[in-house]
Chains A and B, each alone.
Chain A
Amino acid sequence: MAETAGIQDVMTGPASPAPGPPELRGSPSGFSRTIIIAGFAALLLAIGGMLLVQIAYAVEGGSITPQCRELGITPFVVATDTQPASGIRGARGVCNIISAIRDPWTRAFLWSGIVVGAVTMFVALFTYRRMDTRRRREQVITGGVVGLQAVQAGAFLLYFSSGRVDRFATQFLNFEVLKGYGFGFIQAAKNTLLLAFGGELGGVIVGLMLAMLVLSQRRAVRAPARAYINFFRGTPLIWQLSFFYFGLVLGLGLPFDVFQAALIVFMLNTGAYAAEVFRAGIQSIERGQMEAARSLGMSYLQAMRYTIVPQAVRRVIPPLMNEFVILIKDTALVLVLGLAENQLDIYNYAKEGYSSTANATFFVAAAVGYLAVTLPLIRLVNAAERKLRGGLLGLSVGQQGI
């Protein structure tokens, strides 16, 4: 903490009575405040208004309207001896969504959002240059930008609500059909994470070793590693999965089950990409670091282990993270292997649900599932990255020029 304060002093000059630099952006004005509030109000009208009507219908829980019945959205009736099953599951929820979209209030909210947004945008566009303090100018610009976003959002939603809302709602927004699949989705998320985490972890280890080999001065050491990397980068992952499982496991008889086979292929494949990331990271470390380490009597491997690699690891976290996010999504490729139901990943579990119910809402749920996995991860890694960089590049963080 004390050291951080020291750096702060260097950056901002001698300690001033108030902590932090002085406020130089000036005061806001009534006009600039109005613009920024108008911008956000427009956005709220367009998106919030639409959601509000949806929520109102969902809470109110009206009965199935005649319009819905005309569209074939009727309550589900189990088949009896005399007549076949009719209607759809979740008819009421679907009908509510449709009715809410068709409600004049939705239209009114969307249109008012568009109008307010457009007016704000134009007023901002023609006045922002005349603002006399930095803060006023920033507020007017922000208001104008958010107003533009309100126009876009309103226009899109209006355009979509003019389509075949009934079919869309029935097919993609019928959340009733997901009932009973919750546990399965959790298990699928676990499988996806297991495949992605395992693949990434193994890949990082494989990649680091390959990077060391590829960086060798000796061609005899470099060549096999290079061949491995080129092979795995040069063939599709889906081919690698198929060949490893059908060719080497089923054909050659290697003792792996289908899940293990997938995990191994993800490791080998990620290893090739991670190797290139590590190679670039290691090569980006200044030559002087290796010279300093060697001049102290360290061997090449000691220099790598204690000085070069620890620095390179910090630099390659963002690109490795990128690889990891790609891998999370690529786990969906295990579909070619025909996994058992309890081994399925998120995407293929959703596909299974779609097949058995003929309702595509499962794919919407799959997207939510993926985001539930990836968003916290992205946050976590970003935080880790900031922390790791802290000691190294403390001064470059938070300093902006142009």
Chain B
Amino acid sequence: MSAEEPLVRLEGVQKWFGNLHVLKDVDLTLGSKEVLVVIGPSGSGKSTLLRCVNLLELPTEGRVWFDGRDVTDVRADLNDVRTHIGIVFQAYNLFPQMTALQNATLALEKVLKVSKHEARDRAMHQLAKVGMDHKADAYPGQLSGGQQQRIAIARALAMEPRLMLFDEVTSALDPELVGEVLEVMLRLAGDGMTMMVVTHEMGFAREVGTRMIFMDEGMLVEEGEPREMYRDPQQERTRQFLAKVL
């Protein structure tokens, strides 16, 4: 692995859902400590692209490298790869029968085989970082959307991943709860976490992103520095989209 080897590399990734061509020959790299923001209209393939990185969606064609490993190789140990990639979903997807703490310790104990005591410490540390340690024993059903989403972030962080994926994590939240989640993400980016963020929060995208890509109809249309792209989009399609959402 050379020094310039990016953390994530996608090469010629195509994805078909039945007859629907969702990703059309996408190439992408993501370096360490980068915060890549993915924007685009709904149905443009943003989420699918994100989910191809941790192989929740298997690309129909093309290759995905993570940390120099070809994870699309049939022999790749995906369970191991996924322990290094955290993902946060739009619908939180917390385990409803478990407390916040149990949500965060489950994979530590069962996958990483960390001792109960250490798993608890690690989980509590992450819950504290998202400001949810006081709700460690609460069940997801007793918490607000914003609180659940912060716990979902803590659950992913407890694995100490090298990359965090965020899939429209504030889209299901009430407007007044969006801020608390974005704040956690901003702090995470400040700590130097490598992140790939699919979002509709344009202001946040500019704040947090070191790089931005605009997707439309399954293709990567434009790529650049967020402020630059907002001020002076190069593609007509990007211009149209930004004019609508900004």
Binds B, one of A53-61, A159-167, A298-306: A298-306
B154 within 8 A of A: no
Per-residue CB contact flags for chain A residues 292-334 toward chain B (1 = under 8 Å, else 0) read 1111111100100011001100100000000000000000000
Give A336 Cβ to nearest chain B Cβ, in Å: 43
Residue of B nearest to A295 (CB): B87
Q: Are A291 and B97 in contact (CB under 8 A)?
A: no
Structural contact, A295 and B56, CB atoms closer than 8 A: yes
Residues of chain A with a CB closer than 8 A to B95's CB? 289, 292-293, 307, 311
A395 at interface (Cβ–Cβ under 8 A)? yes
Is B106's CB within 8 Å of the partner chain A? yes
Number of interface residues of A (CB under 8 A): 26
Q: How far is B78's CA from A99's CA once the two chains are assembled, in angstroms?
A: 82
Given A289-B93, A291-B89, A392-B96, CB of A296 within 8 Å of CB of B142: no
Which residues on B sit within 8 Å (CB–CB) of A306? 106, 110
Given known contacts A295-B82, A296-B107, A298-B79, A392 and B155 CB-to-CB distance under 8 angstroms: no
Q: A297-B82, A306-B106 are in contact. Are A292 and B89 (CB under 8 A)?
A: yes
Question: Could you tell me if A288 and B96 are in contact, using CB atoms closer than 8 angstroms?
Answer: no
> Does A255 make an interface contact (CB < 8 A)?
no
Do A7 and B159 contact each other (CB < 8 Å), given the known contacts A294-B56, A296-B106, A298-B110?
no
Q: Whole-angstrom distance between the alpha carbons of A291 and B111 in the complex?
A: 15
Contacting residue for A391 out of B56, B93, B141, B159, CB 8 A: B141
**Contacting residues of chain B (38-95) with chain A, CB-CB under 8 angstroms:** 54, 56, 79-80, 82-83, 85-87, 89, 91, 93-95
Distance in angstroms between the alpha carbons of A306 and B82 in the assembled complex: 17
Residues on the A chain within 8 Å of B156, using CB: 295-296
Instruction: Report the bound CA distance from A293 to B111 in whole Å.
Output: 10
Cα distance, A298 to B110, chains bound together (Å): 8
List of A residues within 8 angstroms of B94 by Cβ: 292
A81 in the interface, Cβ–Cβ < 8 Å?
A: no
Contacts of A7 in B (CB 8 A): 142
Say whether B139 faces chain A, with CB atoms less than 8 Å apart.
yes
Residues on the A chain within 8 Å of B112, using CB: 297
Cα distance, A296 to B94, chains bound together (Å): 12
User: In the complex, what's the smallest C-beta–C-beta distance from B158 to chain A, in angstroms?
Assistant: 9
Q: How distant is A9 from chain B, measured CB to nearest CB, in Å?
A: 12
Interfacial chain B residues near A302, Cβ < 8 Å? 110-111
Q: Which residues of B contact A23 (CB under 8 A)?
A: none
Query: Residue A392 contacts which of B89, B106, B141, B152 (CB distance < 8 angstroms)?
Result: B141
Instruction: Tell whether A288 pairs with B89 under 8 Å between CB atoms, given A297-B159, A302-B111.
Output: yes
What CA separation (Å) do A296 and B86 show in the bound complex?
7
Which A residues lie within 8 Å of B54 (CB)? 295
Q: Give the nearest-CB partner of A314 in chain B.
A: B97
* Residues of A near any B CB (own CB < 8 A): 3, 6-7, 286, 288-289, 291-299, 302, 306-307, 310-311, 314, 391-395
17 pairs, CB–CB < 8 Å, chain A vs chain B: A291-B89, A293-B95, A293-B107, A295-B85, A295-B86, A296-B106, A296-B155, A297-B80, A297-B111, A297-B159, A302-B111, A310-B97, A311-B95, A392-B97, A392-B141, A393-B141, A394-B139
Q: 7 new A-B pairs (CB below 8 Å) besides A289-B95, A294-B82, A314-B97? A: A3-B142, A288-B93, A293-B95, A295-B85, A296-B159, A297-B107, A298-B107
